[in-house]
Structure 1
């Protein structure tokens, strides 16, 4: 009897531990079961990056049977059941994606580094998962605490937090009016080396959107040629946002 109880205890502890494991090793091509699904596929690289329908990338982590994906500022939540993803939040709710045999490269090179990134993204999720942007906007104390947390996560190596912090510094430096009406901003403030350094830090973390952000900053300052130079590099590195910025410039 005691042996059975001991085994049951071990199973319980094992299940409890597995439920709390945070990782980003999920890999493979997951195809939507429905042809009408807006998001026809997701490709996970086994290292925290996901290709979304071939038009954008995002970050992800898993915790037990839960999968959290950040396409950008929004968030997708899924439940993992065998080789199937079941949508559990808006935009993906009640939709299903099944793992296919399509070859997807595994970009996992250092498991310890990858798990740290997953853990940091989980901290990011806990920070903002239960509050809307409006709640932070109208609560100075909550907004300040969030900004401090984002800065901390950035310093610890989370590129997504660094990109958020880039936006925070940009608003503080230029003001919201200047950002919304950059073409009418006759007297932009001088170059801020802290913002430039942060953009380069994002690039050094292997995030091509650092070029997009730096290009946007130069554009706000009226340095159009420098902005285009950054966006062109971003396109070479695989940034769809840099490509969209260049298209927007050509259209205007």
Structure 2
């Protein structure tokens, strides 16, 4: 790790090229923070093999600390004139900060969610909800059939509470949940017996793709000729989660306010012989 960071620091010396006018001198502690942020970003860009559209990817990080590219160029060039200062000391301080963070994150990673889970949770949204449906007549049983149209690829989680009370005259009452394909056929179907007497919760997970178009829930499927119903459906929720890759990309776009310190910035630069 130290070798790669030092190599990046050597490349960073290329910023000296073209620093002809006088600009701000960046204090060593702030320059170390700039190096720290740059090395982390470089590592991410390299690991993810991101394709960058522009070489102007460092200005935002400089601006965040109140400096320009020319200020950084001038500060690095000025090190050769400062007898009591070494650019290598600044780099070592950046390395120290990175190593301290690495130790802390190694401990925390065991209790933190993965990026995938964070992204999925961030972009999960509720697409259907109904707080209360009471059905006491056969004419109203259609209200116990819920249909969600125009599904997207991803995952849908259905959850509902129901109560079949003593006034219901449908022994062996069942419920069912399923997906409907674009051609009208069913997939992912699940049928269950509705328990009587106390409130019960039913939940089901569905994975969808471009071939599925609707999600159905029906809480009134009598085994015999339908009798008088007495069913309450409460707290119906359907949540949608996009595919993991899509969620991670959306999270990256949301957080990516700046792009900084990729190797392309130094491509035309001449690294210094030493720090």
TM-score, normalised on structure 2?
A: 0.17
Larger fraction in strand:
2
Greater length-normalized contact order (CA 8 Å, ≥ 6 residues apart): 2
TM-score, normalised on structure 1?
A: 0.18
Higher Cα Rg, which structure: 2
